[in-house]
Structure 1
Amino acid sequence: MARIAGLFGRVEPRATARAYLLGLLSGTERKNCWQPAEHAGRHRPGPMQRLLRTARWDTAAARDEVRRYVVDHLGTCDGVLIVDETGFLKKGRGSAGVQRQYTGTAGRIENSQVGVFLAYASSRGRALIDRRLYLPEHTWSKDAERRRRTGVPEDVVFATKPRLALQMITAALDAGVGTSWVTGDEAYGQDPGLRAGLEAREVSYVLAVSCATRVRINQGRTLIRADEAADRLPASAWQRQSAGSGAKGPRYYDWAWVQNGTDEHRHLLVRRNPTTSELAFYLCWSPRIVPLSELVRVAGIRWCIEECFQAAKGQVGLDHYQVRNWTAWHRHVTLAMFALAFLAVATDDARPTRPADPNRPARSGEPVDLTVPEIRRLIGALLSPPVTSLNALLHWSNWRRSHQASARRSHYRRRLAIPSST
């Protein structure tokens, strides 16, 4: 809290922000202002709701502090920036940026919001360091009334997801984040503007692309599909290397690379699953000559942002919010990112000083290193308030049921006011 305390002009929102962060780190089932307020011993969630919606504090500066905090504690020379998106499933149409759209969270088209995120990953840990709420072009960017109702700033214009990713990467580089590599999935690798922007900043990349991507191999002039280029590779071109350690040990794949065009700094990287023979493809560029093992390392680290999403949603309530306003979304997500960063740093601090061998199985009776979920359980237990009194429990039960009754009456009035279609 000391890192962001100066962003609050008054003591009340500052204290509420601390209580909110403790609520995110607690073991409460839902982290949506109601239960964190009850956890903090408050009589109502109003102050926490005002913290997200109307209180005066600099959300962008808080985001910048998250980024500094992560780099200060987890930054290393092997750090990689990772871009990806995640969906937030919604029921109504009133939340900023919501519409029926594809989200990987559900694996299909659903009514949802989509956030584009930037993560930093190194040998010491990983955490989310930036976020952008995607605003669909036709249903939101040009609908002035919907924008006004949800508080979307006038200067926010439509930007594709790769464009949002490049904005976050540029901001991180301008802020002094030391990194040589960027990686992301097909949604970002297929965008030539993102690749050109990274090359202009001389930032290396390993970006996934589809099998239909056209490349030039053997310095040829003819463009061919990436999967066709993989079919032409001789057996000697494949090398089995680990893409990093997973939950079940090293993740071994067969890898091959081929120069893309006449530029020795550009390559097509191909990954083959040794069991299923499934192929994955990556476009790679670096201003310096790098070995295959370095490209494999960067390609394998992309999964870290999926781990960040899982931890952020499962441990600190990234998707537990019940807000519709543009500012409130960014404030909740920023505080959740800070809580996750705190857990990532605490996990790194708790690691033993002895060098770890990822290929050595644990000895009988030897525990694994502390993880983010376990650190969250310990922190939540240590910082939990005393057992709540019976009066407090009944007060919150009555408050919730009264609020639900009021919401029900509002819904009934709205439904009854709509003329029947028959």
Structure 2
Amino acid sequence: MAVGHRVEPDRWRAETDRLLALIAARFGRIETRRRAARFLVGLADLPRKNCWSIAEHAGDVDPHGMQYLLGRAGWDTDGVHDDLRDYVTTNLGDTDAVLVVDETGDLKKGTCTVGVQRQYTGTAGRIEDAQVAVYLTYAGARGHAMIDRELSLPKSWTGDPDRCAEAGVPADIEFLTKPALATGMIRRALNAGVPARWIAGDEVYGADPALRDELEIHQVGYVLAIGCDRRVPTVCRSET
């Protein structure tokens, strides 16, 4: 359901069942599909979420099944992504909608989680061990919801093939800046026909000329912040 709108529990459950039916074909095994459904309900119901709390909420005796779902189970994650994007735009579609791009960080302990390094994250307001991802949100008059995501892999990861291989990162993954990740997500959305008139983002994205060029190609409006110390070149024309 769209974030920020109050929904009655019975209606929420019915809509969740409809969404789960929509993505059912993306799971090759019924056990995986059922566990994914319990995982989704746990994400919605619990104030604090991890595999332990979600497993307990689902009635499991340990978190191994939920961890297996996220790390090793075979299901079509890209297909689920497409289904979710289509579900959101079908229900919230608005020709005046805004695609909002922003990153957020998850604090982590240790160094084994993919993408983790000491870096600034707004979650803590300081430099911490964190995993950072870039998200794309669809915002229209009827509500808003996230429709895409990309994990930010720092050079400390992409420059260490052994570390990536040990963590299960595909060998062909290359370093991309956060604006480059955002550009790819926006391109996917617009090429898929997502109805939107504007793109919005903070100065991390406003400072990237390649992102602005991409938006010009798609002829979509944008409001991207820039730093207060940004220099804007001007051309003075002499009178003749």
2 CA distance for matches of 1:97 and 1:43?
30
Q: State the Cα RMSD in Å.
A: 1.3
Larger radius of gyration: 1
1:185 aligned to which of 202, 209, 223: 202
1:8 paired with 2:33, answer: no
In the TM superposition, structure 1's runs of 4+ consecutive aligned residues that sit over 3 Å from their partners are none
Given residue 163 of structure 2, which amino acid in structure 1 is its aligned partner?
R
* Aligned residue runs from structure 1 range 92-107, under 5 A: 92-107=110-125
Q: What residue is the counterpart of 1:30 in the other structure?
A: 48
Alignment of 1:274-313 (within 5 A): none
Q: Structure 2: state its 5+ residue gaps.
A: 1-19
Q: Residues 104-134 of structure 1, C-alpha deviation per residue, up to 9 Å, x if partnerless?
A: 2222211111101101101111111111110
Which amino acid in 2 is paired with 1:69?
Y
Shift of 1:44: 2.7
Look up the match of 2:5.
none
CA displacement, residues 370-408 of structure 1 (integer Å, 9 cap, x when unaligned): xxxxxxxxxxxxxxxxxxxxxxxxxxxxxxxxxxxxxxx
Amino acid at match of 2:125: G
Rounded to whole Å, the distance in 1 between the matches of 2:61 and 2:129 is 33
Question: Could you tell me how far apart the structure 1 residues matched to 2:182 and 2:122 are?
Answer: 17
Which consecutive residues of structure 1, in runs of 5 or more, have no partner in the other structure?
223-422
Question: Which residue number in structure 2 is paired with residue 150 of structure 1?
Answer: 167
Percent of pairs identical after alignment?
54
**TM superposition shift of 1:92:** 0.6
1:221 lines up with 2:239 in the alignment: no
> How many Å separate the matches in 2 of 1:135 and 1:179?
28
Matched to 1:110, the amino acid is E
The letter for the 1-side match of 2:166 is R
1:134 alignment counterpart: 152
Check whether the contact 2:96–2:195 (CA below 8 A) recurs between aligned residues. no
Cα distance between partner residues in 2 of 1:6 and 1:207:
38
Q: How many residue pairs get matched?
A: 217
2:104 corresponds to which residue?
Answer: 86
How many angstroms apart in 1 are the aligned matches of 2:181 and 2:171? 17
Note the C-alpha offset of 1:31: 2.1
Tell me by how many angstroms 1:22 deviates: 1.2
- Contact 2:104/2:132 (CA < 8 Å) preserved in 1? yes
Q: Give the Å deviation of 1:82.
A: 0.6
Q: RCO higher in 1 or 2 (8 Å CA, sep ≥ 6)?
A: 1
Q: Give the SS at the match of 1:131.
A: strand
What is the 5 A alignment of 1:251-400? none
CA–CA separation in structure 2 for the residues paired with 1:213 and 1:6? 49
1:80-99: per-residue Cα shift (whole Å, max 9, x none)?
Answer: 10111001111211111111
SS at match of 1:162: helix
Superposed displacement of residue 48, structure 1: 1.5
Which residue pairs with 2:222 in the alignment? 205
How far apart in 2 are the matches of 1:54 and 1:85?
26
Cα deviation code 1:6-41 (max 9, x no counterpart): 1111110011111111111223x5321222222222
1:81 match: secondary structure? strand
Q: 2:8 corresponds to which residue?
A: none
The answer for the alignment partner of 1:123 in structure 2 is 141
Which one-letter code corresponds to 1:81 in the other structure?
A: L
**Cα distance in 1 for residues equivalent to 2:117 and 2:73:** 28
- For residue 162 of structure 1, the aligned residue among 179, 197, 201 is 179
1:19 equivalent in alignment to 2:34: no
User: Residue 157 of structure 2: SS of its match in structure 1?
Assistant: helix
Indicate the SS of the match to 2:99.
strand
Cα distance in 2 between the residues matched to 1:16 and 1:43: 14
The residue matched to 1:57 in structure 2 has which SS? coil
